[in-house]
Amino acid sequence: MDDTTARLDSHAVATLRYIRSSMEGAVLLAVPGSAGIVLGSIALAAAALCFTPSLRHYWLGIWLGAALVGAVIGSILIVRESSLRDLRLAGTPLLKFALCLSPSLGAGLVMTAVHWFAGNLHAIPGTWLLLYGCALVAASAATTRIIATLGVFFILFGLLALLLPDEWQISMLGAGFGGLHIVFGILIRRMSHGSET
């Protein structure tokens, strides 16, 4: 009788472990709307700087600086949200989110260098928008569906930017990284407040 009880106890513990790991894997990362709003604001500031006649020639450096600042602040906001929801930093879904983003963002870095050395600066904004959109679509596996929708819009903006003349490129970067981030940040914020009530 004791042997049967011990087997049942070990089976119950194994079952609970399986259920717990399945639930942890099923949890979605909540990307805060504030991250989109902050990223969008940084992008709009970068676009405004690039429209300043004396700084227009330095658009690439301005946008690379804005991307670095945005990546740091966005990461802090997402990690902060995850810690508020008691998600482990090294576990799913935060790690899954980062792994899904990384290939397309890495490809963006490589393609920026390729375009730069080839003197094809016209293609950089469209490439950034396109590959960032691909990164968001991939990362939506660890987040909510609205992130995939945002990614699709970035892809469309990227394709459009690749077709437009040079004088439209800064506007496309501002509209994509600025406008789309802010609009979707507001939508995400409203949706998250609606789910709390």
Domain residue spans of the chain: 32-189
pLDDT band (50, 70, 90) for residue 34: confident
Q: What is the pLDDT of residue 80?
A: 75
Question: What confidence tens digit (pLDDT) does each residue in 110-163 have?
Answer: 999 999 999 999 999 999 999 999 999 998 887 778 999 999 999 999 999 999
- 97 pLDDT band (50/70/90 cuts)? confident
| Over residues 56-68, mean pLDDT | 95
**Helix, strand, coil percent content, the chain, rounded in steps of 5:** 85, 0, 15
Count the neighbouring beta carbons within 10 Å of the beta carbon of residue 13. Answer: 10
Say if CB 87 and CB 27 are below 8 A apart.
yes
Check residue 106 and give its pLDDT. Answer: 94
pTM for the model: 0.80
pLDDT for the residue 29:
64
Amino acid identity for residue 144 in this structure: T
Number of CB atoms found within 10 A of residue 102's CB: 13
> How many CB atoms are closer than 10 A to CB 97?
22
Structural tokens at position 163: 């077709």
Spatial contact of 121 and 115, defined as CB atoms under 8 Å apart: yes
Instruction: DSSP letter for 70, please.
Output: H
